[in-house]
Amino acid sequence: MRAYYTAATLARLGDEMVAVAIPLFMLARTGNPALTGVTVAAYSLPSMLTGPLLGSWLDGTRHRRAVLAANQLALAVAMVGIVLAPGWAAPPLAVLAGLALPMTSAGFSAMVPGLAGPDRLTWANSRDSLSFSAAAMAGPAVAGVLARLITPTGSVLAIAAAAVGSIVALAFVAPVPPNPHGRQPVLTGLRHIVHTPQLRAVTLATTMSWGSMGLLLVVLPLRTEQLGVGQDPAGFLLTVFEIGCVITNVALMRLQHRWRTVLVSVAAYGVVLGGWSLAGNFPVLLVLALVAGLAMGPQFPALLSARQRYSPPELLSQVGTTGASLKIGAFSLGAVLVGPALPALGVAGVIALVGGLQLLAAALGWLVSRPTSAPEPDAEATAGHRPAA
């Protein structure tokens, strides 16, 4: 599993660096904010459509490690190309890198059950979630430091280096047994999510939750500026938030096999987030960020557990990449909604809205968790591996 965690963390580190490194590089090179925005969007938006297709392909292939390595190779080539090619070539190269973006999250995570086995799955899910948190904490900071100490070009090339490191580590990951059922139709994973109450609940809740985060991340620099510390310290809030996530990720591992943990975590996060708009100074906001992270920590490993428990092996990758695509699409929509929401509500109002949307997400997740019909034959295909939620 060490090789897996190394490969997955390096892949996710590179992904987290993109959001900082590419804007800094493009602005320094072209001075064109519009082209910069198009390049960033070109990296994230294609995955909204490619997730289910990639998941179906990954579930049916005998060469998962090679597919994941090809994804990282595309990222490395795209980053080097962005550095070497004219500025107008950056968006299509970003599309090349972003087409397989869901693989950096769900594509890797779908290997965990086969590598860890049922007895160690809860522990392995927690470690996999820590991989995400480590990348989320380090990625933006590493990209910013490299851009400042070396050049923005060096920051972009470091993404390529992380991708190459992930490819090397993948060579040492044990092969995952091939799926005996073969490749499933592209929309089978989405239908399985819709028809399985537990997956329907956690997918709706986390998609809404992540979508509202698109609003939050845009206004956070404005909130720190309101508190008199400028816009740059907004990154510290996210780092402190991830530290809180790591703490409860480890401390509350025993709760992570229960799918309802996702809903409780999202709701608790919403309650704490509402206080961010009321903080009178930056230290108080930092404390609230830590508490919000503590509330949110168990959510992601519980989500991974729910996908594994209520999805048959032949659909696990497709369910994961479909969920990742929905979250990425919702995040992009949330970021777009900042335009009309900010003038109408103000910074504090937008943050309060995000907190309220977390509560709404948890409530709707609970409502749709009620069975509407007889479950699909495969809905409980893996339920016997662990105790009932």
* 174-186 tens-digit pLDDT: 887 666 555 666 6
More confident residue, 3 or 148: 3
Digit-coded pLDDT (tens) for 47-74: 777 777 777 777 667 778 888 898 899 9
Same fold, 1-171 and 186-389: yes
Distance between CA atoms of 135 and 197, rounded to whole angstroms?
A: 31
Q: Are 107 and 198 in contact (CB under 8 A)?
A: no
Digit-coded pLDDT (tens) for 354-373: 999 999 999 999 999 987 65
Tell me the residue type at 182: G
Domain 1-171 is found in CATH 1.20.1250.20 = yes
Q: Is 311 helix (H, G, I), strand (E, B) or coil?
A: coil
Q: Are 124 and 112 in contact (CB under 8 A)?
A: yes
Most confident of 13-17, 53-57, 73-77, 373-377: 73-77
Digit-coded pLDDT (tens) for 293-319: 999 999 988 998 898 889 887 787 788
Query: What residue ranges do the domains of the chain occupy?
Result: 1-171, 186-389
CATH of domain 186-389: 1.20.1250.20
Kindly tell me the number of DSSP H helices and DSSP E strands found in the chain: 16, 0
* CA 220 to chain CA mean position, Å: 19
